[in-house]
Amino acid sequence: MAKRHWMIYGANGYTGHLLAAEAQRQGLRPLLAGRNPAAVHALGSLLGLECRVFDLHQREAVVEALADVAVLAHCAGPFSATSAPMLEACLASATHYLDISGEIDVFEAAHGYHHKAHQLGLVVCPGVGFDVIPSDCLAACLHQALPDACELALGFDSAGGLSPGTAKTLVEGLALGGRVRRRSMLDPVPLGYKRQRIDFGRGAKPAMTIPWGDVATAYFSTGIGNVEVYVPAPPALAIGLRLLDPLRPLLGLDAVQRWLKHLVDKRVQGPDQASRERQRTWLWGEARNAAGSRRTARLETANGYQVTVHGVLLAVGHLLDYSGPGGYFTPSRLLGERCVEQLPGSGKIVIS
């Protein structure tokens, strides 16, 4: 008999909790899981949902816990540490894998499982949240509008706050520096590498490049070999990051990373419900071909955490009734290049 259960791992984290609560509100019955027994069972009691507790370092226990699970929604970051063991366990237990990562190296590593997942008929689709559904859809639509594009720039403007997990991922990223894609290869660049003025949808403002997940995923979705991602940033911040760049080896030291993450634990809680409902996000993209023709895309969505919650639920629903091929997918490849338009609070992608 086909497996019908689905699971949220990391359900007791900030985003996992939001996802579990919305799933329960919609009458869905996910299994809640994580490694902290007290926190997971407290959430299970609150929502009236079944719980499982296991640690990703115990491979046999993970595979056993996933034995009757058709789809896993992995929400326990930093994914640089948790994605690989969970992905291996999913392939061993015949479970489709989803996550909410935005980390370039996680996307690249997951892409390396394509052939194995294809042979097993299993879907591997990281990034089914704000990282990277909206921007991946923009990339796919721009490629459709300009099929011979050779350069792609994407970006987003949001006033939303950060969850503890996202903040810790950014702390790890400080040590890695910036990255863009050039000539189809990932290229390390300094922090605050490039600056330009961009109208993301509410007026032009200074922006700078960041090492966002689309540097990996937009390439997998479109084949465009040159990709950059931008966010608004005052010139002083971009210049300051360039000056900080030579210190990146120090930022990567274990002691410094532990101290910065300790500060995150003490000071970062994530935006409350009122903030999430009030804050919007604007996305922009531009594709250019060798002849100089260009197309621009814009999109307005709900707050990033709302996009993530509803994006995961869209992907889970798709895979519970899935009969297509296995392999690695980006969100636009799995769910369609305009799938973001199905999410509550999202507008339409406009190409000009």
At 239 the pLDDT is 79
What is the torsional sign of CA 93, 9, 58, 125?
positive
pLDDT, one tens digit per residue, over 194-227 is 999 999 999 999 998 988 999 999 999 999 999 9
DSSP code per residue over 25-92 = HTT--PEEEES-HHHHHHHHHHHT--EEE--TT-HHHHHHHTTTEEEEEE--S-HHHHHHHHHHHHHH
Q: How far apart are CA 196 and CA 72, in angstroms?
A: 39
Domains 5-130+305-336 and 133-303 share a fold: no
Quick one: average pLDDT of 252-281?
Answer: 74
Tell me the CA end-to-end span of the chain in Å, nearest whole number. Answer: 49
**Class of the domain covering 133-303:** alpha beta
3-state SS assignment for residue 16: helix
SS3 helix, strand, coil % of the chain, rounded to 5?
A: 45, 25, 30
DSSP code per residue over 228-296 = EEEEE--HHHHHHHHHHGGGHHHHTSHHHHHHHHHHHHHH-----HHHHHH-EEEEEEEEEETTS-EEE
Both tokens assigned to 232: 């608004």
Instruction: State the average pLDDT for the chain.
Output: 91
Domain boundaries, the chain: 5-130+305-336, 133-303
Return the percentage of the chain with pLDDT > 90, whole number.
74
Superfamily of domain 5-130+305-336 in the CATH hierarchy: NAD(P)-binding Rossmann-like Domain (3.40.50.720)
One-letter amino acid for residue 41 of the chain: H
Q: Which residue has the higher pLDDT, 280 or 340?
A: 340
Return the percentage of the chain with pLDDT > 70, whole number.
92
pLDDT, one tens digit per residue, over 32-60 is 999 999 999 999 999 999 999 999 999 99
